[in-house]
């Protein structure tokens, strides 16, 4: 759910390029960590889970401006590396329909991809501590979203600084002036004030929904989420 909905033209060039470079590096790592034969076998599953994320992100939940992200679920089912690829694919499709800018795809993939990876790791840890099937999913999703939303706010906070001036070693006054004049200059406090209430509701909904989805899956096909993801390969 911690998808940065910022459109093109508001994040400074340096930061969206950084986002793309980091995403390319992570995708390279993800592809290298996935064995070629295993990768070929997993292409349909990867594509379909990305489609499910896309559908989840297209369904509004009633009157609140919120949709499911399903990134933690993707991490649980696909594992961290294929899950990261699924995050990239769903973000690319969303950008093509104007749901977040095309220049923000890199940063968005880093945010949603981190949700996949952290969700996968936390689910593994919590599941070992709590034997019940659904509670670990709810807890892992809640903790993951708190971490990744903090990361997202951090991205927005960092992106308001003009890095070019810092890299060139300009005086403090010039940097401050640049920040105020920057197209991306924002009041972080005001931004957080707007985001936090939506995020709090969003975290509760996403955690509950992911738990309910896993509960349903466990009732019908427990093998999909019942076995630790490590046993199914793909990472």
Partner 1 sequence: MSEHRLENAGADDFGRDLLDIAFIDNLAYNRDSVMHKASALSKVTMVALVIAAVVISTEALVFVIALAILLTTFSISNLPVLRILPFAGYAFIFSLIFAVSSIGGGITPIVVILKAVTAAVSMLLLITTTPYPQIFALGRKIFPTILLDAMLVTYRSFFILMEQVERVIIALRMRGGYSPLRVVGNLDIMGKVVGHGFIHAWELSENMQNAMLIRGYRGGMPVSAARKHSIKYSLLPVLLGATVLATAVFA
- Between residue 63 and residue 82, which ones bind partner 1 under the rule CB under 8 A? 63-65, 68, 70, 73
- In total, the chain counts a number of residues equal to 235
To partner 1, the closest distance from the beta carbon of 114 in angstroms equals 18
Which of 33, 135, 184, 233 touches partner 1 by CB under 8 A?
A: 184
CB 105 within 8 A of CB 127: no
Is residue 62 a contact residue for partner 1 (CB under 8 A)?
Answer: yes
Is residue 59 a contact residue for partner 1 (CB under 8 A)?
Answer: yes
Site residues for partner 1, 13-42, by CB under 8 A, read 13, 27, 31, 34, 36, 39-41
Is residue 180 a contact residue for partner 1 (CB under 8 A)?
Answer: yes
Site residues for partner 1, 79-118, by CB under 8 A, read 85-86, 88-90, 92-93, 95-103
Is residue 146 a contact residue for partner 1 (CB under 8 A)?
Answer: no
Cβ distance to partner 1 smaller for residue 44 or 169 = 44
Using DSSP's 3-state secondary structure scheme, residue 60 falls into: strand
To partner 1, the closest distance from the beta carbon of 155 in angstroms equals 13
d(CA 208, CA 225): 16
CB 59 within 8 A of CB 72: no
CB 101 within 8 A of CB 95: yes
d(CA 161, CA 184): 8
Cβ distance to partner 1 smaller for residue 97 or 129 = 97
Is residue 182 a contact residue for partner 1 (CB under 8 A)?
Answer: yes
d(CA 13, CA 163): 10
To partner 1, the closest distance from the beta carbon of 146 in angstroms equals 19
Residue 64 has phi, psi (to 5 degrees) of: -90, 145
Provide the mask over 202-221, with x wherever binding to partner 1 is found by CB under 8 A and - wherever it is not. ---x--xx-xxxxxxx--xx
To partner 1, the closest distance from the beta carbon of 145 in angstroms equals 15
Cβ distance to partner 1 smaller for residue 125 or 160 = 160
Residue 127 neighbours by CB under 8 Å, 6+ apart? 136, 140, 228
List the one residue out of 140, 162, 151, 143 whose CA is nearest residue 109.
151
């Amino acid at each position: 759910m911690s998808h940065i909905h910022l459109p093109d033209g508001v994040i400074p060039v340096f930061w969206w390029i950084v986002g793309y470079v980091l995403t390319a590096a992570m995708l390279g790592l993800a592809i290298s960590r996935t064995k070629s034969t295993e990768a070929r076998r997993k292409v349909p599953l990867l594509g379909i889970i990305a489609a499910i994320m896309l559908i989840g992100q297209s369904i509004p939940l009633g009157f609140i401006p919120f949709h499911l992200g399903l990134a933690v679920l993707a991490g649980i089912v696909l594992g961290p590396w294929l899950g990261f690829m699924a995050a990239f694919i769903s973000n690319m499709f969303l950008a093509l329909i104007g749901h977040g800018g095309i220049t923000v795809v890199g940063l968005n993939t880093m945010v949603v991809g981190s949700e996949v990876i952290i969700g996968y790791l936390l689910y593994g840890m919590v599941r070992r501590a709590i034997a019940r099937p659904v509670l670990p999913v709810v807890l892992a999703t809640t903790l993951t979203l708190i971490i990744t939303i903090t990361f997202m706010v951090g991205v927005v906070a960092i992106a308001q600084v003009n890095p070019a001036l810092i890299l060139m070693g300009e005086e403090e006054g010039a940097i401050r002036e640049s920040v105020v004049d920057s197209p991306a200059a924002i009041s972080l406090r005001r931004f957080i004030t707007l985001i936090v209430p939506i995020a709090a509701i969003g975290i509760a909904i996403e955690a509950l929904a992911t738990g309910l989805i896993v509960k349903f899956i466990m009732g019908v096909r427990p093998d999909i989420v019942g076995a630790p993801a490590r046993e199914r390969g793909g990472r």
